[in-house]
Chains A and B, each alone.
Chain A
């Protein structure tokens, strides 16, 4: 059994490894209930949805005070825009945690890794805690780590698709090779897929659509939270899975070495 190591991002220890997105809910009170009932500590909010004025429809009014708020740069099409959105977030609300989302493709909504690196570099140098959302590419992840990303957030599959870990193999490589926390983001459609990501060794999982569009969002958020916990336990308990490296036992050729031969 591996020992648990705390997940620390931006100097804060995160106990609940399930992160929740706040878009797409049918009501803001559903969103609030989902945060409370699942015990989620980290939530993402799109800067484009944040209103600086206080009024009953302002999303910020529905996020419990002790929650860590991570602003995403949804709508940014390049590094420059992502940086501007991040700065606006800091000015407007003092929020320092930024999930960089640079998407220049409205059809597939795939992140632009090249622009993501540029935005990460600028924002890290300006003191932000930066969590870039990216397409799982080892070289890009290494670069993001080198320039100071607080975590790396590869997509599981296309945003909102609920297709689960289509990029499993490549995320696995990031988990093996990158020291920064790997947080699987996008495409996670059900708790079992979140558990699968955690069993692989992901540091955390972020979901939004699957919770927001569920019949009972709060119960689904709780299910995700538990699945993430279970997946983490399974990872620490060391699953006996197929390995990509050599295995000690040789069921097919072992007879060659049998002394009774």
Chain B
């Protein structure tokens, strides 16, 4: 058994045998609690308008990208396209602009998505409990919220304007989500913004606190690695493949029943190996720009996708590696 306190030691320990032993243990635990099933989802960007200024993000309000938000008709077109590929679990995303994408707009998108997807999750700016409640009643099952970094000093430097400057409000978001009745919360840090050992240590403590205070929620963790913007002048922390793999293994050993997501911001090589170690949920055929599923629109993506495989190719890979691709893992009940 390892403890959260040992994270720093684990990340500094690069003995091959030690890492392999950890991977074996992580794999064993994953099979025990999740079997050989891997859930599949896809993100759908509704809007890239943003009031915040996160200096590492392509959507930040000062970046010169072409701004766009989907109309209801465009939402349907995008959703139909994603649904036709077999995806049944959708993650709806907006930038951090309450003004351009208010709760009513998000709710409209959720109501549209219900026609196509049995499970709907959100990744939007932090909301109040009653707003989450409203969206839960409209059919939202899960919410993704990353603290980005738990290093408060660094957080202040990286988030220089907008509501997102409020560290505490963001930190308390998972608890507000839980209070609203929403059943799944995905937590994480953006790896590379700060020193990984400390950030992930704080993330684990946060999750531990959530599990204790809000036990009725299904938690998942994500370990997104920052992909620096092309002309970025910010100093980032390099997160090696080995570090990422060790973080996934450690998370699995410390939180045996917590799901772990890995998006297409990672390469096929990393993803195909990570599913052997603890990852239980992956995205497929993702487009990270607004309206990206229809080829006629090419605005700037939030991040560059590294794994471009189609849903069918992901399914074939999973089967070949001895996994069962799971598309339906939740059926909406009237909340």
Chain B residues, CB < 8 A from A209: 32-33, 35
Q: Which residues of B contact A84 (CB under 8 A)?
A: 333-334
The CA-CA distance from A26 to B31 in the complex, in Å, is 10
Name the CB-closest residue of A to B219.
Answer: A106
A residues touching B (Cβ–Cβ < 8 Å)? 23-28, 47-51, 55, 57, 75, 77, 81, 84-85, 88, 104-107, 109, 160-162, 209, 212-213
Residues of B within 8 A of A28 (CB): 324
- Using known A-B contacts A28-B324, A51-B327, A57-B325, determine if residue A106 contacts B215 with beta carbons closer than 8 Å: yes
- Total number of B residues with any Cβ neighbor in A under 8 Å: 33
Asked if A48 and B330 sit within 8 Å, CB to CB, the answer is yes
Cβ-defined contact, A27 with B183, below 8 A: no
| 9 A-B pairs with least C-beta separation | A24-B35, A26-B36, A84-B333, A104-B216, A105-B215, A51-B328, A26-B322, A77-B216, A213-B31
Tell me the smallest distance from the CB of A120 to a CB of chain B, in Å: 18
- Quick one: which of B86, B257, B330 contacts A109, CB cutoff 8 A? B257
Chain B residues whose CB sits within 8 angstroms of the CB of A47 once the complex forms: 331
For chain B, residues 282 to 331, give those with C-beta under 8 angstroms from any C-beta of chain A: 315, 319, 322-331
| Sample of 7 further A-B pairs with CB below 8 A, known A24-B34, A49-B326 | A51-B118, A75-B330, A77-B216, A81-B333, A88-B333, A105-B215, A107-B215
CB distance from B306 to the nearest CB of A (A): 26
With A104-B216, A106-B257: A160-B327 Cβ-Cβ less than 8 Å = no
**How close is B256's CB to chain A, nearest CB, in angstroms?**
8
Known: A25-B35, A27-B319. A107 touches B328 (CB 8 A): no
A77 to B178, CA, bound (A): 12
A104 contacts B32, CB within 8 Å? no
Decide if B128 is an interface residue (CB 8 Å cutoff).
Answer: no
Q: Does B266 contact A (CB under 8 A)?
A: no
Which residues of A sit under 8 angstroms from B333, Cβ to Cβ? 81, 84-85, 88
Q: Are B329 and A48 in contact, with the CB atoms below 8 A? A: yes
Q: List 19 A-B contacts (CB under 8 A).
A: A24-B31, A24-B35, A26-B322, A48-B329, A48-B331, A50-B328, A50-B331, A57-B327, A75-B183, A75-B330, A88-B333, A106-B211, A106-B218, A106-B219, A107-B211, A107-B257, A160-B33, A213-B31, A213-B32
Evaluate contact between A106 and B217: CB separation under 8 angstroms. yes
Residue B37 at the chain A interface, CB threshold 8 Å:
yes
What is the minimal beta-carbon distance from B178 to any residue of chain A, in angstroms? 11
Interface membership of chain B positions 206-235, coded 1 if the CB is closer than 8 angstroms to chain A and 0 otherwise: 000001000111110000000000000000
A105–B330 Cα distance when bound, in Å, is 18
Given contacts A24-B35, A26-B36, contact A105 B329 (CB under 8 A): no
Chain B residues with CB under 8 Å of chain A are 31-37, 86, 88, 118, 183, 211, 215-219, 257-258, 315, 319, 322-331, 333-334
A213 near B36 with CB under 8 A, answer yes
**CB pair A104 B215 closer than 8 Å:** yes
Contact among A25, A75, A77, A105 with B36 in the assembled complex (CB-CB below 8 Å): A25
Instruction: Report Cα–Cα, A132/B331, bound state, in Å.
Output: 21
Majority-rule SS of B interface residues: loop
List the B side residues contacting A213 at CB < 8 Å: 31-32, 35-36
Closest to B212 in A: A107
In the complex, are the beta carbons of A24 and B327 less than 8 A apart?
A: no
Whose C-beta in chain B lies nearest to the C-beta of A92?
B331
Residue of B nearest to A48 (CB): B330
The CA of A161 and the CA of B331, in the complex, are separated in Å by: 26
* Docked CA distance A212–B323 (Å): 11
Task: Give the nearest-CB partner of A24 in chain B.
Answer: B35
Cβ of A104 to closest chain B Cβ, rounded Å: 4
CB distance from A218 to the nearest CB of B (A): 15
Q: Kindly state the separation between the CA atoms of A161 and B257 in the bound complex, as whole angstroms.
A: 11
Given contacts A26-B323, A109-B257, contact A49 B31 (CB under 8 A): no
Contact at B331–A88, with CB atoms within 8 Å? yes
- A49 near B328: Cβ-Cβ < 8 Å: yes
How many angstroms from the CA of A160 to the CA of B37 in the assembled complex? 14
Give Cα A49 to B326, complex, Å. Answer: 8
- Which residues of chain A have C-beta atoms less than 8 A from B322's C-beta? 26-27
* A81 vs B330: C-alpha distance when bound (angstroms): 13
- Tell me the complex Cα distance, A55–B328, Å: 12
What is the chain B residue whose CB lies nearest that of A107?
Answer: B211
- Tell me the complex Cα distance, A105–B217, Å: 7
With a CB–CB cut-off of 8 A, which chain A residues contact B328?
A: 48-51
Contact A212:B215 (CB < 8 A) given known A26-B322, A48-B329, A57-B327: no
Separation of A25 and B36 alpha carbons in the complex (Å): 6
Chain A residues, Cβ within 8 Å of B35: 23-26, 209, 212-213
The CA of A81 and the CA of B219, in the complex, are separated in Å by: 19
Contacts of B118 in A (CB 8 A): 51
A9 to B233, CA, bound (A): 69
Cα A104 to Cα B326 in complex, Å, equals 23
Given A27-B319, A160-B33, A77-B183 contact (CB < 8 Å): yes
User: For residue B329, which residues in chain A have a CB less than 8 angstroms away from its CB?
Assistant: 48-49
Q: In whole Å, how far is B127's beta carbon from the nearest beta carbon of chain A?
A: 21
B57 to chain A, nearest CB (A): 30
